[in-house]
Amino acid sequence: MIKNKIVLITGGNGQIGAELAKKIIDYNAKVVVVDKNKKLNNSLKKFKKNKNFMHIVADVSKINEIDLSIKKTYDKFGRLDAIVHSAYPKSEAWGTKFENLKKKYLNEDLNNQLGGAILLSQRALRFFKSQGHGNLIHISSIQGTSAPKFEHYSGTSMVSPIEYSAIKAGIIAITKYLAKYCKNSNIKVNSVSPGGILDNQPASFLEKYKKSCNDKGMLEVSDLVETIIFLISDHSRYINGQNIIIDDGWSL
């Protein structure tokens, strides 16, 4: 479905990025994992010498490092078909309750997560325009499309941050804006909004969360990466400016 595509993933060492990178290799496409973490995700180590794989250590909150990552990709593969922005920079106060938020950390997270996605888009689209085609995929969340189900969190120390909801709604807004902004450029911009992903959450949370879903409840990354693959592929050529929710019915 995506054979020979060249895909750059920011945050490619992360939970979603690494699973997506593996899937892209499985499909005989080429993947560039860009992450500020030098240590390659364990599941990707086996690809170190694979000709379809490249690992770039870079901080995508820095414009020059985004541009350099794009250039290195182009220099190695001669093209860059799609960028999936999956980097997830968090301040040290990430996960603070609404009542306790501090301006410094709030600004840092808004700036790095939403501002970072806007500037990443600026650099990606600038390159795509010069190349004559491109495909940008952002990762939003169900927290960007619906209010949190606060009742799921009671009895746990988990918090669904208000700024996360604002950032993720913002990601959907910039996706639509940019898709339309790129009219006549042979560029598409879409986002996906995954539901919660299993990651050792407390059993009480998982149980309540599941009751809001149709079948499975919290998802595994493998439940959502094929949707991103579809967006990378030409089968979605005329899907533009859309946000695809993958949440087992949580938001219904």
Ligand X SMILES: NC(=O)c1ccc[n+]([C@@H]2O[C@H](COP(=O)([O-])OP(=O)(O)OC[C@H]3O[C@@H](n4cnc5c(N)ncnc54)[C@H](O)[C@@H]3O)[C@@H](O)[C@H]2O)c1
* C-beta of 61 vs 146, nearer to ligand X: 61
Judged on CB neighbours under 10 Å (0-12, 13-18, 19+), 184 is: exposed
* CA 248-217-139 angle, 5° bins: 60
Q: Does 15 bind ligand X (CB under 6 A)?
A: yes
Closest residue to ligand X using C-beta atoms? 14
Single out the catalytic residue among 27, 153, 164, 177.
164
- x-or-dash pattern for ligand X, window 193-212, by CB under 6 A? -x-xx---------------
Q: How far is CA 142 from CA 93, 99, 166, in A?
A: 22, 22, 11
3-class secondary structure, 163: helix
Closest distance between ligand X and the C-beta of residue 109, in Å? Answer: 11
* C-beta of 194 vs 217, nearer to ligand X: 194
Closest distance between ligand X and the C-beta of residue 238, in Å? Answer: 25
- x-or-dash pattern for ligand X, window 54-83, by CB under 6 A? -----xxx----------------------
- Of all helices (H) and strands (E), which one includes residue 136? strand 134-139
CA gap 190, 178 in Å, rounded: 9
3-class secondary structure, 94: coil
Closest CA to 192 of 166, 217, 153, 223: 223
Choose the binding region for ligand X from 29-37, 43-51, 181-189, 206-214 (rule: CB under 6 A): 29-37
Q: Does 217 bind ligand X (CB under 6 A)?
A: no
Q: How far is CA 216 from CA 153, 201, 240, in A?
A: 18, 15, 29
Closest distance between ligand X and the C-beta of residue 168, in Å? Answer: 7
- x-or-dash pattern for ligand X, window 88-107, by CB under 6 A? xx------------------
CA gap 41, 29 in Å, rounded: 19
169 touches 145 (CB < 8 A): yes
Closest distance between ligand X and the C-beta of residue 221, in Å? Answer: 8
Q: Does 17 bind ligand X (CB under 6 A)?
A: yes
- The yes-or-no answer on residue 164 being catalytic is yes
Closest distance between ligand X and the C-beta of residue 213, in Å? Answer: 14
* C-beta of 140 vs 240, nearer to ligand X: 140
* C-beta of 157 vs 184, nearer to ligand X: 157
Q: CB pairs under 8 A, 24+ apart, for 58-62?
A: 58/34, 60/10, 60/11, 60/34, 60/36, 60/85, 60/87, 60/116, 60/120, 61/89, 61/112, 61/116
Q: Which of residues 120-179 bind ligand X (CB under 6 A)?
A: 139, 141
Choose the binding region for ligand X from 31-39, 46-54, 72-80, 101-109 (rule: CB under 6 A): 31-39
Catalytic residues: 164
